[in-house]
A and B are shown apart, each in its own frame.
Chain A
Amino acid sequence: MKLVIIKYNAGNIQSVLYALERIGTTALVTDSPDEILGADKVIFPGVGEASTAMQYLQERKLDQLIIQLKQPVLGICLGMQLMCKHSEENDTKCLGIFNSSVKGFKNDAEHSIKIPQIGWNTIYHLQTPLFSQIKENSYCYFVHGYYASPGEHTIATTHYGKEYSSALQTNNFYGTQFHPEKSADIGEQILKNFINL
């Protein structure tokens, strides 16, 4: 099993790597196209800002590479958002893998919420083997100011002011808005499930 974490200007790469080590596996952190194409599984992490991250990927042609991948790919947080069509964060065109748009949370009379959402929230309406052995309404750790709207690729839902997609999937591509690498035992099980896909 060759597991690769795509190296780019994202903040949580080390955390993802350490979480994989805790569950008894390891991964290569690389931006080499050959290494990524040759991997059995690919993790696309992300903490940061959408337009800066997309620009970085484009400059290294990683954007073209990611959409071609045929093996299971897991985008995390900003990684998942970048796999959507478009992000409101600095009006950024994204990779267009998931048929969802990314919008900013709004604190208004209708939805009195703090932004960003920071903390533990529930995931429900769970689908696909990514959530094998995960109970409905399990808690995962979220840190984000933007969210993916619900759509045909939604495989987990969370409520914060409104319902949004806390995980997405189409074909070999998976994405989670929450951080499995920081979501205690639940997160570790989800990472194991991805590895076992």
Chain B
Amino acid sequence: MLTKRIIACLDIKDGRTVKGVNFEDIRDAGDPVELGALYAAQGADELVFLDITATNERRKTLSELVNKIAHHINIPFTVGGGIASVDDVSVLLQNGADKISVNTSAFKDPTLVKDLAKEFGSQCVVLAIDTKKEADGNWYVYLNGGRVKTDMRCFDWAKQAVDLGAGEILLTSMNNDGTKQGFALDITQELSANLPVPIIASGGAGKMEHFGDVFQLAGADAALAASIFHYKEIAIPELKQYLAEKGIAMRL
């Protein structure tokens, strides 16, 4: 049986992890390779490396880092952050990334999704959406790391991107992100029930039951978290054991 996936996300700046603190059991928590390998050893099903570097050197730094990660980590990983062209993706895949995620650049030029799917296959094209529920009760797409609002409904953009060839959706609720009050079940459920591709829920994980809810109530295929793993509020082995005992298919 296909399992639900637990995904650990690492934010990267200038080749270093941004949030890595409080890890006495590894030598250098700022080293994305070492932290990623620790998560892999603990049973994470996938890793996402999100690059937030803003310098001119970023492309080179990132491709070198991806190459190191690919050498050392024996589970799949996705790379995202500032990817804007087929060439960007080609370099990352050649260096060993399994999937890439696109966000703002794809929204501004949806043909990018189509071009990437055609060139590399849908299986490696993850569409990341940052979304926020407004006072009118609708979920809207935000760009540039959540700083720029658009008038596009989240579901409409996700549907369009899937039609263009996106193979997975990484859905981050800005309302929930950082709250530790649980994932956004309603929008996750809407996408999961109505789109033919896997949905990765992100934003809001604080307790183990939040993961159970997003799988069992919202039908998410995967759940992603960052800080609760980095700060060891939840350990991946205990989380997967807990979810398995709730009857959720897990790789243990």
- Listed in ascending order, the chain A residues whose CB lies under 8 Å from chain B are 11-12, 14-15, 18-19, 21-22, 47-49, 107, 114-122, 139, 141-145, 159-160, 179, 181-185, 187-188
Give the number of residues in B that approach A within 8 Å (Cβ atoms). Answer: 31
Please measure, in the bound complex, the distance between the C-alpha atom of A106 and the C-alpha atom of B95, giving whole angstroms. 33
Is B45 within 8 A of A120, CB to CB?
yes
Determine whether the beta carbon of B98 is less than 8 Å from that of A182: yes
Q: Is B144 located at the chain interface by the 8 A CB criterion?
A: no
Could you tell me if B74 and A184 are in contact, using CB atoms closer than 8 angstroms? yes
Does B221 contact A47, Cβ atoms closer than 8 Å?
Answer: no
Known: A15-B70, A15-B98, A184-B74. A114 touches B197 (CB 8 A): yes
Chain A residues with Cβ below 8 Å from B40 are: 184
Residues of B within 8 A of A117 (CB): 2
A15 touches B2 (CB 8 A): no
Q: In the complex the two chains form, what is the Cα distance from A34 to B168 in whole Å?
A: 41
Cβ contact within 8 Å between A116 and B3: no
In whole angstroms, how far apart are the Cα atoms of A188 and B74 in the complex?
Answer: 8
What separation, in Å, do the CA atoms of A144 and B2 have in the docked complex? 13
Considering only CB atoms, which chain B residue lies closest to A161 in the complex?
B2
Do the beta carbons of B123 and A143 come within 8 Å of each other?
yes
Give 22 A-B contacts (CB < 8 Å), ordered by A residue: A11-B93, A47-B121, A47-B123, A114-B197, A114-B221, A115-B196, A118-B123, A118-B168, A118-B198, A118-B221, A119-B3, A119-B198, A119-B222, A120-B2, A122-B1, A143-B76, A143-B98, A179-B76, A182-B76, A182-B98, A183-B74, A184-B40
Nearest-neighbor residue (CB-CB) of B95 within chain A: A14
**Complex contacts, A19 vs chain B, CB 8 Å:** 74
B163-199 vs A, CB cutoff 8 Å, 1 = contact: the mask equals 0000110000000000000000000000000001110
* B94 nearest CB across to chain A (Å): 6
Question: Are B45 and A48 neighbours in the complex by a CB distance under 8 Å?
Answer: no
Give chain A residues whose Cβ lies under 8 Å from the Cβ of B71. Answer: 18, 21-22
Known: A11-B93, A119-B221, A182-B98. A139 touches B123 (CB 8 A): no
Closest chain B CB from A14 CB (angstroms): 5
A159 to B249, CA, bound (A): 13
CA distance A107 to B162 in the complex (A): 15
* In the assembled complex, B251 has its CB within 8 A of some CB on chain A: yes
Q: Pick the contact of B75: A141, A143, A145 (CB < 8 A).
A: A141
Q: Do A18 and B2 touch across chains, with their CB atoms under 8 A apart?
A: no
A119/B5 in contact, CB under 8 A: yes
Tell me the bound Cα distance from A181 to B4 in angstroms.
Answer: 20
Q: Is the CB of A11 within 8 A of B76?
A: no
Q: Which residues of B contact A120 (CB under 8 A)?
A: 2-3, 5, 45, 251
Q: A18-B71, A22-B71, A119-B198 are in contact. List 14 more A-B contacts (CB 8 A).
A: A11-B124, A19-B74, A48-B121, A49-B121, A115-B197, A116-B123, A116-B167, A117-B2, A118-B123, A119-B4, A121-B1, A141-B76, A159-B1, A185-B74
Q: Is the CB of B121 within 8 A of A119?
A: no
Residues on the B chain within 8 Å of A179, using CB: 76
Q: With an 8 A cutoff between CB atoms, is B96 at the interface?
A: yes
Q: Does B122 contact A (CB under 8 A)?
A: yes
Q: What A residues does B95 contact at CB under 8 A?
A: 14
Shortest distance from the beta carbon of A21 to any chain B beta carbon, whole Å: 7
Q: Given the interface contacts A22-B72, A160-B2, A182-B76, does A14 sit within 8 Å of B122 by beta carbon?
A: no
Q: Residue B120 at the A interface, CB < 8 A?
A: yes
* Pair A139/B70 contact, Cβ less than 8 Å: no
- Tell whether, in the assembled complex, residue B75 and residue A184 are in contact, meaning their CB atoms are under 8 Å apart: yes
CA distance A14 to B207 in the complex (A): 37
**Chain B residue contacts of A145, Cβ below 8 A:** 122-123
Q: How far is the CA of A188 from the CA of B75 in the complex (A)?
A: 11
B251 touches A139 (CB 8 A): yes
Given A115-B196, A187-B74, A14–B96 Cβ distance below 8 Å?
A: yes
Which B192-233 residues sit within 8 Å CB-CB of chain A?
196-198, 221-222
Q: Is the CB of A121 within 8 A of B121?
A: no
A96 CA to B9 CA, complexed, in Å: 42
Tell me the complex Cα distance, A183–B161, Å.
Answer: 28
**How near does chain A come to B41, taking the closest CB pair, in angstroms?**
9
